[in-house]
Amino acid sequence: MYNKFLPGEYVKNVFHIKPENLKERGVKGIITDLDNTLIEWDRPNATPEVTEWMTAMKDAGIQVMIVSNNNEARVKAFCDPLGIPFICAARKPLRKSFNKALATMGIQKEQAVFIGDQMMTDILGGNRAGLHTILVVPVASSDGFFTKFNRMMERRIMANLKRKGMIKWEE
């Protein structure tokens, strides 16, 4: 049961994910969460560092697409200035939005990675869709109302994964 919450990789932040490493693995597309994965949940626009990271991915021929549970106004405000396609109100961890993202990018699940900061929505959803998942440390220490509940549940899951020896990284 806990395997579905276990990410394929764990990195500190998206900046540790390099286009050359993804290309070597045959990755053609990144599906990523937005809030607390790329930017703080209450920050409206991309930071210069995030913009630079996305540009590096695009320059390497790797597509980037946002899949977020947040509303259209929030996600559109972030994505439109960068010209990045998105799916909002995604209802992660359901598979439908992940499959739609793959179809939109015209790639197979083996050619994609999913990046997110939450085990309950992002990693569970990405794993259920058959994607290689990458868990990042949340960029903000504060969370929205619903995410606070998820974080409480994640701490319990993380404790069980540690107890079972399934976690190979330090927090």
Q: Above 90 in pLDDT, residue 41?
A: no
**CATH class held by domain 2-163:** alpha beta
Share of the chain above pLDDT 70, in %: 92
Please give the pLDDT value at position 75.
96
Band the pLDDT of 164: cuts 50, 70, 90: confident
What is the mean predicted confidence (pLDDT) over 20-27?
97
pTM of model > 0.85: yes
pLDDT at 79: 97
- β-pair type (86-87, 29-32): unpaired
Which of 49, 30, 25, 44 has the alpha carbon at shortest distance from 126? 30
Q: Any idea which of 21-25, 106-110, 137-141 has the lowest mean pLDDT?
A: 137-141
Nearest CA to 132 among 9, 33, 23? 9
Mean of the per-residue pLDDT values for the chain?
Answer: 91
pLDDT > 90 in the chain, percent: 72
Model confidence at 51, in pLDDT bands (50, 70, 90)?
very high
Cβ neighbours of 6 (radius 10 Å):
18
